[in-house]
Amino acid sequence: EEQRRRLQNRPEQPREPRVLRIAVIGAPNAGKSTLCNRLLGRKVFPVSRKVHTTRCQARGVITHQDTQLIILDTPGLTSPLKAKRHNLEEAMLTDPWDSIKHADLVLVLVDVSDHWTRNSLSKEVLKCLSQFPHIPSVLVLNKVDILKKKFLLLEIATDLTEGIVNGKKLEVKSALKEDSSSSAKAPLHNTRASPPASKIPGSPFGQEKNQEGSGLDKSSGVGGAGTGEAQGPKHHGPEDLKDVKGWPHFQEIFMLAALHGEEVDTLKRYLLMQAKPGPWEFHSDVLTSQSPQEICDNIIREKVLEYLPLEVPYGVTQVTEVWEEGECGELLIVQSLLVPRESHKRMLIGRGGKVISRIAREAGQDLMNAFLCDVRLKLKVEVKG
Protein backbone atom coordinates (compact mmCIF):
# COMPACT_ATOMS: atom_id res chain seq x y z
CA GLU A 1 0.00 0.00 0.00
CA GLU A 2 2.82 2.36 0.89
CA GLN A 3 4.55 1.78 -2.47
CA ARG A 4 1.23 2.25 -4.30
CA ARG A 5 0.70 5.57 -2.49
CA ARG A 6 4.22 6.67 -3.39
CA LEU A 7 3.64 5.90 -7.07
CA GLN A 8 0.28 7.68 -7.03
CA ASN A 9 1.60 10.75 -5.22
CA ARG A 10 1.85 13.77 -7.45
CA PRO A 11 5.57 14.52 -7.94
CA GLU A 12 6.85 17.64 -6.19
CA GLN A 13 8.25 20.09 -8.71
CA PRO A 14 11.29 22.17 -7.71
CA ARG A 15 11.54 25.68 -9.10
CA GLU A 16 13.60 24.54 -12.10
CA PRO A 17 13.09 20.76 -12.43
CA ARG A 18 15.39 18.76 -14.67
CA VAL A 19 14.92 15.21 -15.90
CA LEU A 20 16.76 12.56 -17.92
CA ARG A 21 15.35 9.22 -19.09
CA ILE A 22 18.14 6.69 -19.61
CA ALA A 23 17.80 3.38 -21.46
CA VAL A 24 20.46 0.85 -20.44
CA ILE A 25 20.96 -1.69 -23.22
CA GLY A 26 23.49 -4.40 -24.03
CA ALA A 27 23.93 -8.09 -24.63
CA PRO A 28 22.55 -10.49 -22.00
CA ASN A 29 24.72 -10.64 -18.85
CA ALA A 30 26.71 -7.48 -19.62
CA GLY A 31 25.96 -6.22 -16.10
CA LYS A 32 23.04 -3.85 -16.79
CA SER A 33 21.09 -4.62 -13.60
CA THR A 34 24.25 -4.51 -11.47
CA LEU A 35 25.04 -1.04 -12.83
CA CYS A 36 21.45 0.15 -12.28
CA ASN A 37 21.52 -1.08 -8.66
CA ARG A 38 24.82 0.72 -8.07
CA LEU A 39 23.47 3.97 -9.52
CA LEU A 40 20.35 3.68 -7.31
CA GLY A 41 22.33 2.78 -4.18
CA ARG A 42 19.97 -0.13 -3.35
CA LYS A 43 19.37 -3.54 -4.88
CA VAL A 44 16.01 -3.41 -6.65
CA PHE A 45 16.86 -5.22 -9.90
CA PRO A 46 17.70 -8.94 -10.05
CA VAL A 47 21.27 -9.95 -10.81
CA SER A 48 22.66 -13.35 -11.84
CA ARG A 49 25.48 -14.84 -13.88
CA LYS A 50 22.84 -16.56 -16.01
CA VAL A 51 21.49 -14.74 -19.04
CA HIS A 52 17.98 -13.27 -19.15
CA THR A 53 17.64 -12.61 -15.41
CA THR A 54 15.79 -9.37 -16.19
CA ARG A 55 12.56 -10.45 -17.87
CA CYS A 56 10.83 -7.12 -18.43
CA GLN A 57 11.43 -3.40 -18.40
CA ALA A 58 11.70 -1.90 -14.91
CA ARG A 59 12.34 1.69 -13.91
CA GLY A 60 14.61 3.02 -11.20
CA VAL A 61 14.41 6.62 -9.99
CA ILE A 62 17.29 8.76 -8.71
CA THR A 63 16.27 12.16 -7.30
CA HIS A 64 19.16 14.51 -6.57
CA GLN A 65 18.46 18.16 -5.68
CA ASP A 66 16.47 19.57 -8.65
CA THR A 67 17.26 16.63 -10.98
CA GLN A 68 15.52 13.31 -11.54
CA LEU A 69 17.14 10.44 -13.43
CA ILE A 70 14.79 7.71 -14.63
CA ILE A 71 16.73 4.55 -15.41
CA LEU A 72 15.13 1.99 -17.68
CA ASP A 73 16.69 -1.41 -16.94
CA THR A 74 15.86 -3.59 -19.91
CA PRO A 75 16.15 -7.29 -20.78
CA GLY A 76 19.34 -8.17 -22.64
CA LEU A 77 18.90 -7.65 -26.37
CA THR A 78 18.36 -11.04 -27.89
CA SER A 79 17.23 -12.59 -31.17
CA PRO A 80 13.82 -14.30 -31.65
CA LEU A 81 15.65 -17.64 -32.04
CA LYS A 82 17.38 -17.36 -28.65
CA ALA A 83 14.17 -16.07 -27.05
CA LYS A 84 12.39 -19.23 -28.20
CA ARG A 85 15.20 -21.43 -26.88
CA HIS A 86 14.96 -19.91 -23.39
CA ASN A 87 11.15 -19.86 -23.43
CA LEU A 88 11.16 -16.08 -23.04
CA GLU A 89 8.12 -13.85 -23.06
CA GLU A 90 7.27 -11.54 -25.96
CA ALA A 91 8.20 -8.62 -23.69
CA MET A 92 11.85 -9.73 -23.78
CA LEU A 93 11.97 -8.78 -27.46
CA THR A 94 9.84 -5.61 -27.38
CA ASP A 95 10.80 -3.93 -24.09
CA PRO A 96 14.32 -2.79 -25.06
CA TRP A 97 12.88 -1.11 -28.15
CA ASP A 98 10.14 0.57 -26.10
CA SER A 99 12.75 1.84 -23.65
CA ILE A 100 14.90 3.44 -26.31
CA LYS A 101 11.88 5.02 -27.99
CA HIS A 102 11.17 7.01 -24.80
CA ALA A 103 14.78 7.67 -23.75
CA ASP A 104 16.76 10.93 -23.76
CA LEU A 105 20.05 9.02 -23.58
CA VAL A 106 21.13 5.46 -24.34
CA LEU A 107 23.82 3.72 -22.27
CA VAL A 108 25.36 0.83 -24.20
CA LEU A 109 27.02 -1.58 -21.78
CA VAL A 110 29.77 -3.94 -22.98
CA ASP A 111 31.42 -6.67 -20.91
CA VAL A 112 35.15 -6.28 -21.64
CA SER A 113 35.98 -9.51 -19.78
CA ASP A 114 34.29 -11.58 -22.51
CA HIS A 115 36.98 -11.95 -25.16
CA TRP A 116 34.50 -13.52 -27.60
CA THR A 117 32.24 -10.49 -27.84
CA ARG A 118 34.09 -7.43 -26.52
CA ASN A 119 35.51 -6.17 -29.84
CA SER A 120 32.19 -5.75 -31.61
CA LEU A 121 28.71 -4.60 -30.65
CA SER A 122 26.03 -7.26 -31.05
CA LYS A 123 23.82 -7.03 -34.11
CA GLU A 124 20.80 -6.41 -31.84
CA VAL A 125 22.54 -3.43 -30.17
CA LEU A 126 23.61 -2.00 -33.53
CA LYS A 127 20.07 -2.44 -34.84
CA CYS A 128 18.71 -0.49 -31.85
CA LEU A 129 21.22 2.34 -32.24
CA SER A 130 20.65 2.62 -35.98
CA GLN A 131 16.86 2.72 -35.53
CA PHE A 132 17.14 5.71 -33.18
CA PRO A 133 20.24 7.59 -34.37
CA HIS A 134 18.87 10.94 -33.10
CA ILE A 135 19.02 9.81 -29.45
CA PRO A 136 22.46 10.52 -27.88
CA SER A 137 24.36 7.41 -26.82
CA VAL A 138 27.24 6.70 -24.44
CA LEU A 139 29.52 3.65 -24.40
CA VAL A 140 30.16 2.04 -21.01
CA LEU A 141 32.91 -0.58 -20.78
CA ASN A 142 32.10 -2.76 -17.77
CA LYS A 143 34.11 -5.30 -15.73
CA VAL A 144 37.42 -3.54 -16.46
CA ASP A 145 38.74 -4.87 -13.14
CA ILE A 146 38.74 -8.41 -14.57
CA LEU A 147 40.78 -7.39 -17.62
CA LYS A 148 44.43 -8.06 -16.77
CA LYS A 149 45.91 -6.45 -19.89
CA LYS A 150 44.60 -2.90 -19.53
CA PHE A 151 46.15 -1.79 -22.82
CA LEU A 152 43.47 -3.88 -24.57
CA LEU A 153 40.93 -1.25 -23.48
CA LEU A 154 42.34 1.08 -26.14
CA GLU A 155 41.85 -1.50 -28.84
CA ILE A 156 38.34 -2.39 -27.62
CA ALA A 157 37.31 1.26 -27.44
CA THR A 158 38.61 1.90 -30.94
CA ASP A 159 36.77 -1.11 -32.38
CA LEU A 160 33.49 -0.29 -30.66
CA THR A 161 33.54 3.37 -31.73
CA GLU A 162 35.10 2.85 -35.17
CA GLY A 163 37.73 5.31 -34.01
CA ILE A 164 35.31 8.23 -33.55
CA VAL A 165 33.89 9.69 -30.32
CA ASN A 166 31.78 12.85 -30.14
CA GLY A 167 32.46 13.58 -33.80
CA LYS A 168 36.24 13.52 -33.37
CA LYS A 169 38.73 10.94 -34.57
CA LEU A 170 40.69 9.04 -31.99
CA GLU A 171 44.46 9.16 -32.05
CA VAL A 172 46.55 6.46 -30.42
CA LYS A 173 50.34 6.41 -30.40
CA SER A 174 52.65 3.62 -29.35
CA ALA A 175 54.72 4.21 -26.21
CA LEU A 176 57.21 1.54 -27.28
CA LYS A 177 60.02 2.11 -29.72
CA GLU A 178 59.47 0.22 -32.92
CA ASP A 179 61.48 -2.91 -32.65
CA SER A 180 61.15 -5.84 -35.01
CA SER A 181 62.15 -8.25 -32.26
CA SER A 182 59.53 -6.92 -29.87
CA SER A 183 56.64 -9.24 -29.15
CA ALA A 184 54.41 -6.29 -28.23
CA LYS A 185 51.18 -5.85 -30.11
CA ALA A 186 51.41 -3.50 -33.08
CA PRO A 187 50.12 -0.01 -32.22
CA LEU A 188 46.70 1.08 -33.38
CA HIS A 189 46.45 3.38 -36.35
CA ASN A 190 47.89 6.70 -35.33
CA THR A 191 45.03 8.55 -36.97
CA ARG A 192 42.80 7.30 -34.18
CA ALA A 193 42.76 8.81 -30.73
CA SER A 194 40.95 8.63 -27.48
CA PRO A 195 38.74 11.50 -26.41
CA PRO A 196 40.73 14.02 -24.34
CA ALA A 197 41.49 12.55 -20.92
CA SER A 198 39.61 15.40 -19.22
CA LYS A 199 36.43 14.23 -20.93
CA ILE A 200 36.40 10.94 -19.07
CA PRO A 201 37.33 11.51 -15.43
CA GLY A 202 38.77 8.44 -13.81
CA SER A 203 38.88 6.35 -16.96
CA PRO A 204 42.03 4.52 -18.05
CA PHE A 205 42.18 6.80 -21.10
CA GLY A 206 45.13 9.11 -20.68
CA GLN A 207 46.68 6.87 -17.99
CA GLU A 208 48.02 4.14 -20.21
CA LYS A 209 51.23 5.86 -21.26
CA ASN A 210 54.22 3.56 -20.95
CA GLN A 211 52.03 0.58 -20.09
CA GLU A 212 52.00 -2.58 -22.14
CA GLY A 213 53.01 -0.84 -25.34
CA SER A 214 50.22 1.66 -25.93
CA GLY A 215 49.66 5.22 -24.85
CA LEU A 216 47.44 8.08 -25.84
CA ASP A 217 48.27 11.31 -27.48
CA LYS A 218 46.49 13.79 -25.24
CA SER A 219 46.28 16.44 -27.93
CA SER A 220 42.71 16.99 -29.01
CA GLY A 221 43.46 18.94 -32.15
CA VAL A 222 40.33 18.21 -34.09
CA GLY A 223 38.81 20.18 -36.89
CA GLY A 224 40.63 21.66 -39.85
CA ALA A 225 42.34 19.88 -42.70
CA GLY A 226 43.03 16.20 -42.52
CA THR A 227 41.35 15.51 -39.18
CA GLY A 228 38.32 13.83 -40.68
CA GLU A 229 35.46 15.45 -38.73
CA ALA A 230 32.75 12.79 -38.44
CA GLN A 231 29.34 13.25 -39.99
CA GLY A 232 26.14 13.09 -37.94
CA PRO A 233 24.37 9.76 -37.46
CA LYS A 234 21.99 8.57 -40.10
CA HIS A 235 19.42 5.80 -40.22
CA HIS A 236 20.87 2.43 -41.30
CA GLY A 237 19.03 -0.52 -42.78
CA PRO A 238 19.82 -4.14 -41.74
CA GLU A 239 21.93 -4.68 -44.87
CA ASP A 240 24.15 -1.72 -43.89
CA LEU A 241 24.96 -3.37 -40.55
CA LYS A 242 26.20 -6.67 -41.99
CA ASP A 243 29.92 -5.89 -41.67
CA VAL A 244 29.69 -3.17 -39.00
CA LYS A 245 31.44 -3.79 -35.66
CA GLY A 246 31.12 -0.45 -33.88
CA TRP A 247 29.08 2.74 -33.66
CA PRO A 248 30.86 5.99 -34.56
CA HIS A 249 28.30 8.29 -32.87
CA PHE A 250 28.92 7.73 -29.16
CA GLN A 251 29.26 10.99 -27.24
CA GLU A 252 31.45 9.64 -24.44
CA ILE A 253 33.20 6.49 -23.19
CA PHE A 254 33.20 5.40 -19.56
CA MET A 255 35.17 2.53 -18.04
CA LEU A 256 34.03 1.03 -14.77
CA ALA A 257 33.47 -2.05 -12.63
CA ALA A 258 29.78 -1.96 -11.67
CA LEU A 259 30.03 -4.93 -9.28
CA HIS A 260 32.51 -3.09 -7.05
CA GLY A 261 31.19 0.42 -7.73
CA GLU A 262 34.45 1.60 -9.34
CA GLU A 263 33.90 4.82 -11.30
CA VAL A 264 30.09 4.49 -11.08
CA ASP A 265 29.92 7.90 -9.34
CA THR A 266 31.77 9.44 -12.29
CA LEU A 267 29.08 8.13 -14.63
CA LYS A 268 26.33 9.27 -12.26
CA ARG A 269 27.72 12.83 -12.17
CA TYR A 270 27.82 12.86 -15.96
CA LEU A 271 24.19 11.69 -16.18
CA LEU A 272 23.06 14.39 -13.74
CA MET A 273 24.81 17.00 -15.90
CA GLN A 274 23.02 15.75 -19.03
CA ALA A 275 19.52 16.28 -17.57
CA LYS A 276 17.30 18.73 -19.44
CA PRO A 277 14.66 21.12 -18.08
CA GLY A 278 11.40 19.21 -17.64
CA PRO A 279 8.84 18.11 -15.04
CA TRP A 280 9.59 15.26 -12.64
CA GLU A 281 7.66 12.06 -13.28
CA PHE A 282 7.88 10.54 -9.79
CA HIS A 283 7.64 11.68 -6.20
CA SER A 284 11.10 12.02 -4.66
CA ASP A 285 10.35 9.08 -2.28
CA VAL A 286 10.07 6.64 -5.20
CA LEU A 287 13.10 4.42 -5.87
CA THR A 288 11.54 2.05 -8.42
CA SER A 289 8.32 1.67 -10.39
CA GLN A 290 8.12 -2.01 -9.42
CA SER A 291 5.66 -3.26 -6.83
CA PRO A 292 7.09 -5.04 -3.73
CA GLN A 293 5.69 -8.31 -5.14
CA GLU A 294 7.60 -7.81 -8.39
CA ILE A 295 10.81 -7.09 -6.48
CA CYS A 296 10.23 -10.23 -4.39
CA ASP A 297 9.59 -12.43 -7.46
CA ASN A 298 12.68 -11.05 -9.19
CA ILE A 299 14.98 -11.62 -6.21
CA ILE A 300 13.79 -15.21 -5.68
CA ARG A 301 14.11 -15.94 -9.41
CA GLU A 302 17.65 -14.52 -9.33
CA LYS A 303 18.63 -17.14 -6.71
CA VAL A 304 16.88 -19.96 -8.58
CA LEU A 305 18.83 -19.00 -11.71
CA GLU A 306 22.03 -18.91 -9.70
CA TYR A 307 21.76 -22.36 -8.12
CA LEU A 308 20.03 -24.50 -10.75
CA PRO A 309 21.98 -25.85 -13.75
CA LEU A 310 21.54 -25.18 -17.46
CA GLU A 311 17.98 -24.56 -18.66
CA VAL A 312 16.27 -25.93 -15.53
CA PRO A 313 15.53 -22.56 -13.79
CA TYR A 314 13.77 -21.16 -16.87
CA GLY A 315 10.94 -23.67 -16.36
CA VAL A 316 10.18 -22.61 -12.76
CA THR A 317 6.86 -20.81 -12.15
CA GLN A 318 6.43 -18.68 -9.01
CA VAL A 319 3.13 -18.40 -7.12
CA THR A 320 2.87 -16.19 -4.01
CA GLU A 321 0.46 -17.79 -1.52
CA VAL A 322 0.93 -15.56 1.54
CA TRP A 323 1.93 -11.89 1.81
CA GLU A 324 1.21 -10.57 5.27
CA GLU A 325 2.54 -7.82 7.46
CA GLY A 326 2.99 -8.77 11.10
CA GLU A 327 2.23 -6.71 14.20
CA CYS A 328 5.83 -5.52 14.51
CA GLY A 329 6.13 -4.55 10.81
CA GLU A 330 7.81 -7.79 9.74
CA LEU A 331 6.80 -9.29 6.40
CA LEU A 332 5.75 -12.94 6.04
CA ILE A 333 5.99 -14.31 2.49
CA VAL A 334 5.16 -17.86 1.40
CA GLN A 335 5.88 -18.70 -2.23
CA SER A 336 5.45 -21.94 -4.19
CA LEU A 337 7.97 -22.78 -6.88
CA LEU A 338 6.32 -24.98 -9.51
CA VAL A 339 8.57 -27.17 -11.66
CA PRO A 340 7.64 -29.30 -14.70
CA ARG A 341 9.08 -32.64 -13.52
CA GLU A 342 10.10 -34.62 -10.44
CA SER A 343 13.83 -34.56 -11.30
CA HIS A 344 13.74 -30.73 -11.30
CA LYS A 345 12.03 -30.79 -7.90
CA ARG A 346 14.86 -32.92 -6.48
CA MET A 347 17.45 -30.51 -7.92
CA LEU A 348 15.70 -27.45 -6.49
CA ILE A 349 15.31 -28.97 -3.02
CA GLY A 350 18.85 -30.38 -3.02
CA ARG A 351 20.33 -33.04 -0.77
CA GLY A 352 18.92 -32.58 2.71
CA GLY A 353 17.07 -29.45 1.53
CA LYS A 354 20.35 -27.54 1.19
CA VAL A 355 19.63 -25.78 -2.12
CA ILE A 356 16.15 -24.50 -1.30
CA SER A 357 17.31 -23.44 2.20
CA ARG A 358 20.16 -21.43 0.71
CA ILE A 359 17.85 -19.77 -1.84
CA ALA A 360 15.35 -18.84 0.93
CA ARG A 361 18.12 -17.52 3.21
CA GLU A 362 19.86 -15.38 0.58
CA ALA A 363 16.62 -14.12 -1.00
CA GLY A 364 15.27 -13.25 2.46
CA GLN A 365 18.39 -11.20 3.23
CA ASP A 366 18.15 -9.33 -0.08
CA LEU A 367 14.47 -8.62 0.55
CA MET A 368 15.30 -7.19 3.99
CA ASN A 369 17.88 -4.90 2.36
CA ALA A 370 15.36 -3.84 -0.31
CA PHE A 371 12.36 -3.30 2.00
CA LEU A 372 14.31 -2.16 5.09
CA CYS A 373 12.25 -4.41 7.39
CA ASP A 374 12.40 -7.96 8.78
CA VAL A 375 11.31 -10.59 6.25
CA ARG A 376 10.33 -14.21 6.94
CA LEU A 377 10.43 -16.06 3.63
CA LYS A 378 9.18 -19.62 3.20
CA LEU A 379 9.57 -21.48 -0.11
CA LYS A 380 7.74 -24.65 -1.19
CA VAL A 381 8.60 -26.76 -4.23
CA GLU A 382 5.89 -28.62 -6.15
CA VAL A 383 5.58 -30.37 -9.49
CA LYS A 384 3.10 -28.64 -11.78
CA GLY A 385 -0.22 -30.47 -11.74
Residue range 260-292, pLDDT digits in tens: 999 999 999 999 999 999 999 999 989 998 889
Residue 75 belongs to a domain: yes
Residue type at 319 in one-letter notation: V
Measured distance CA(51)–CA(114) in Å, rounded:
14
**Same-domain status, 56 and 134:** yes
- Residue pLDDT, tens place only, 16-26: 999 999 999 88
**Given this model, what pLDDT does residue 225 score?**
31
**Same-domain status, 260 and 379:** no
Beta-carbon contacts of 166 under 8 Å, excluding residues fewer than 6 positions away, are: 195, 199, 250, 251, 252
Report strand pairing: 58-64 vs 67-73.
Answer: antiparallel
**Same-domain status, 6 and 45:** yes
pLDDT tier, 77 (very low <50, low <70, confident <90, very high otherwise)? low
- Please calculate the CA angle 232-236-240 and round it to the nearest 5 degrees: 120
Q: Domain boundary at 277, 302, 320, which?
A: 277
**Range from 120-124, 156-160, 325-329 that averages highest in pLDDT:** 156-160
Residue type at 10 in one-letter notation: R
**Same-domain status, 347 and 260:** no
Range with lowest mean pLDDT among 51-60, 125-134, 147-156: 51-60
**Same-domain status, 13 and 60:** yes
Q: Pick 167 or 237 by higher pLDDT.
A: 167
Residue 204 has pLDDT above 90, yes or no: no
**Same-domain status, 303 and 269:** no
For residues 275, 7, 107, 104, the Cα torsion angle rounded to the nearest 10 degrees is -40
Range with lowest mean pLDDT among 81-85, 99-103, 120-124, 222-226: 222-226
CATH number at residue 77: 3.40.50.300
pLDDT tier, 141 (very low <50, low <70, confident <90, very high otherwise)? very high
**Given this model, what pLDDT does residue 20 score?**
97
Residue 185 belongs to a domain: no
Q: Domain boundary at 230, 253, 277, which?
A: 277
Q: Pick 222 or 236 by higher pLDDT.
A: 236
**Same-domain status, 310 and 250:** no
pTM: 0.74
**Given this model, what pLDDT does residue 26 score?**
86
Other CB atoms within 10 Å distance of the CB of residue 124: 20
pLDDT tier, 58 (very low <50, low <70, confident <90, very high otherwise)? confident
- Residue pLDDT, tens place only, 83-106: 454 444 444 444 456 668 889 999
Ramachandran class of 152: left when φ > 0, alpha when ψ lies in -120 to 50, beta otherwise:
alpha
**Same-domain status, 86 and 150:** yes
Other CB atoms within 10 Å distance of the CB of residue 47: 23
